[in-house]
């Protein structure tokens, strides 16, 4: 049984997982609820989020990942300024919308004559400022492994 206030639409928009993963996410959430109250388990929003995150993490680790990194942290686990979190969430929303537009066959790839290969983002700042953590959280939210590149030296000088 679902606890009061569970928003399934919010969960479905946040996690892009398919049938078997959805089933496993609900089972993981149910196990958590049964562990909490065995006689009358109620699935909470937090249970379902945890189950979905677990399934996404597993799906990413199962992928063929040669030189890629498996993202393990979500945006919800980051401690950043609200403005930065809003910007990162905007990137996720844009990329999810872009995938839907391409899938709908709006002819976007025909104009460029090629398939879209992924999302590219440039993060800059001093060492230890959270660039990699932000990239990892974006990759996790988009359900994709990530590749990391580094730029060395002063870009502004020619």
Q: How many domains does the chain have?
A: 2
The model scores a pTM over 0.75? no
In-domain check, residue 155? no
Query: What's the angle, vertex CA 57, arms to CA 51 and CA 59, rounded to 5?
Result: 100
Across 113-135, average pLDDT:
76
Place of tokens 């988009």: 142
Q: Please check whether residue 156 lies inside any domain of the structure.
A: no
For residue 50, what are its two tokens?
A: 């945890």
DSSP of 3-23, one letter per residue? PTT--HHHHHHH----HHHHH
Structural domain of 30:
1-62
Tens of pLDDT along 18-32?
Answer: 888 888 899 999 999
Helices (H), 43-149: 45-62, 82-103, 108-112, 131-142
Q: What is the pLDDT of residues 36-70, one digit of tens each?
A: 998 999 999 999 999 998 888 776 665 544 456 77
The residue among 101, 98, 91 whose CA lies nearest residue 138 is 91
């Amino acid at each position: 049984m679902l606890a009061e206030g569970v928003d399934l639409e919010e969960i479905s928009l946040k996690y892009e997982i398919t049938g078997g993963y959805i089933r496993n996410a609900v089972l993981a959430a149910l196990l958590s609820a049964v562990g909490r109250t065995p006689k009358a388990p109620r699935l909470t929003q937090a249970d379902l989020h945890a189950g979905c995150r677990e399934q996404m993490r597993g799906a990413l680790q199962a992928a063929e990942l040669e030189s890629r990194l498996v993202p393990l942290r979500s945006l919800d686990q980051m401690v950043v300024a609200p403005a930065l979190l809003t910007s990162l969430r905007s990137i996720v929303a844009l990329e999810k919308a872009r995938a839907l537009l391409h899938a709908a066959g709006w002819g976007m790839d025909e104009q460029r004559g090629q398939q879209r290969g992924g999302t590219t983002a440039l993060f800059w700042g001093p060492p230890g400022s959270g660039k990699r953590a932000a990239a990892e959280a974006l990759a996790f939210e988009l359900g994709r492994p990530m590749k990391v590149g580094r730029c060395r030296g002063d870009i502004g000088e020619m």
